Amino acid sequence: MCLDCRNYRVRYACNRSPIRTVFIIKIIILIKKAFIFSIFFCFYFSVNAQDPFLSQWFTSAQFLSPASVGNGVYNSRIQSNYRSQMLAGNQLYKTIVIGWDGRYKNKNEDVVNYLGIGGQIISDQIMEGVLQTNYATINAAYHLYFDDDLKKNFSLGLGLTFAQSNLQLDKLKFGDQFLEGEYISNSRSVSLQNLSGSASKISMNSGLLYTYHSASSFFQISANAFYLAKPDLISENPSASTFKSLIFFNAEKEVESKKSFMLHASFNSRNKMDQLLVGGSIGLPFGSYIENSNKFYLGCFYRVNDAIIPMVSILMNEYRFGFSYDIYSNDFSKAQLKPTSFELSLSVSSLLGKRRSDNLRTLFD
């Protein structure tokens, strides 16, 4: 008898057939996958699905407030974000955001107040599309100026969102499940019988936004309310609509040698679940800054009790690109399975409209 087989458990394992060993390995892999999925699937039903969120909130104006449509130094802009969160090599969440907004041109050129309009599409996916919620939003905001220099602006925005959730039940079949040592092919949990494959709802949102924008300074403060009627896939006892509040603050100041400092803070609350994001960046000009507004931003943000987020951004005249990486700091990140997240953002402001102002070009435009 070999030394490795003296222990009874080891002898027993060595005497197992290869088929039995493969079976056990498959079960372990299945349990791991089911565990990862159950963490986020249970979280979905406990809070009626995770609201889509971004680490670079400030790069997607409509994501924060319907009152933001139509602002900035260009007549129109396209903004997009891609966020991915993974755990143990499995993609848990994927969020894609793309939006367009611009100004509705007044026929009377003497009227400086204007109407901003925009639309945004969000796709929030869990476990590579097993559960997917898509949002289509239309926003409109009226902007009022308080001074002849057109630096102080107040806007009131309203929005309408259509949301649809889809659950692909066929992806929840586990062919490797077993009962009393026997395989059950294409089995499905009894707990899924009360789930619907698709659901949709319509929500309303509103926002107030004050903006001060000059050749060297930018300041914003906003308060918003979202009446959320989230799609509910539970066929029995569906949950009621909820109220979400969100306030945020944006600022950027240009100092000596065309350097700038940027600050952002946002707080949102829903169902007694609060989230606070604070941070800032320093902007360093490069190249022909006066002609092209080229600037490199390096900063860091903190999502309280959740993650530290380093960020880099490049501003090149009408283009803006950003990258951020979430370093999780909560108790969950101390476990053996650690989540990883990154986010990309891209904004283009010249395809559908020209620059309309000589005010400071910022990350918030």
Residue ranges covered by each domain of the chain:
3-348
Q: What is the mean pLDDT of the chain?
A: 79
Higher pLDDT among residues 83 and 173, named by residue: 83
Per-residue model confidence (pLDDT) at position 365:
82
Contact of 141 with 119, CB cutoff 8 Å: no
- Where residue 181 falls among pLDDT bands split at 50, 70, 90? very low
pLDDT of residue 32 exceeding 60, the answer is no
Higher pLDDT among residues 98 and 340, named by residue: 98
**Superfamily (CATH) of domain 3-348:** monomeric porin ompg (2.40.160.40)
- Where residue 18 falls among pLDDT bands split at 50, 70, 90? low
Among 16-20, 193-197, 212-216, name the one with the lowest average pLDDT: 16-20
- The pTM of the full predicted model, rounded to 2 decimals, is 0.78
Per-residue model confidence (pLDDT) at position 354:
77
Please write the tens of the pLDDT for every residue from 288-331: 755 667 899 999 999 998 899 999 999 988 899 999 999 987 65
Higher pLDDT among residues 18 and 241, named by residue: 241
- Where residue 28 falls among pLDDT bands split at 50, 70, 90? low
Please write the tens of the pLDDT for every residue from 227-284: 876 676 665 555 556 788 999 999 999 998 889 999 999 999 987 788 999 999 999 9
Q: Give me the mean pLDDT over the 323-340 stretch.
A: 73
Per-residue model confidence (pLDDT) at position 345:
95
Place of tokens 């204007």: 114
Per-residue model confidence (pLDDT) at position 90:
74
Per-residue model confidence (pLDDT) at position 9:
43
Contact of 167 with 198, CB cutoff 8 Å: yes
Please give the span between the terminal C-alpha atoms of the chain, in angstroms, as a whole number.
75
Provide the 8-state DSSP code for 195: B
Length of the chain: 365
Per-residue model confidence (pLDDT) at position 24:
56
Please write the tens of the pLDDT for every residue from 58-71: 888 999 999 999 99
Q: Give me the mean pLDDT over the 163-169 stretch.
A: 82
Per-residue model confidence (pLDDT) at position 185:
45
Per-residue model confidence (pLDDT) at position 248:
96
Among 3-12, 28-37, 53-62, 209-218, name the one with the lowest average pLDDT: 3-12
Per-residue model confidence (pLDDT) at position 330:
60
| Joined tokens for residue 217 | 């300074």
Identify the three-state secondary structure at position 9: helix
pLDDT of residue 13 exceeding 50, the answer is no
Among 143-157, 198-212, 253-267, 346-360, name the one with the lowest average pLDDT: 346-360
**How far apart, in whole angstroms, are the C-alpha atoms of residue 114 and residue 112?**
6
- Where residue 115 falls among pLDDT bands split at 50, 70, 90? very high
Identify the three-state secondary structure at position 94: strand
Contact of 97 with 125, CB cutoff 8 Å: no
Provide the 8-state DSSP code for 56: S
pLDDT of residue 30 exceeding 70, the answer is no
- Where residue 335 falls among pLDDT bands split at 50, 70, 90? low
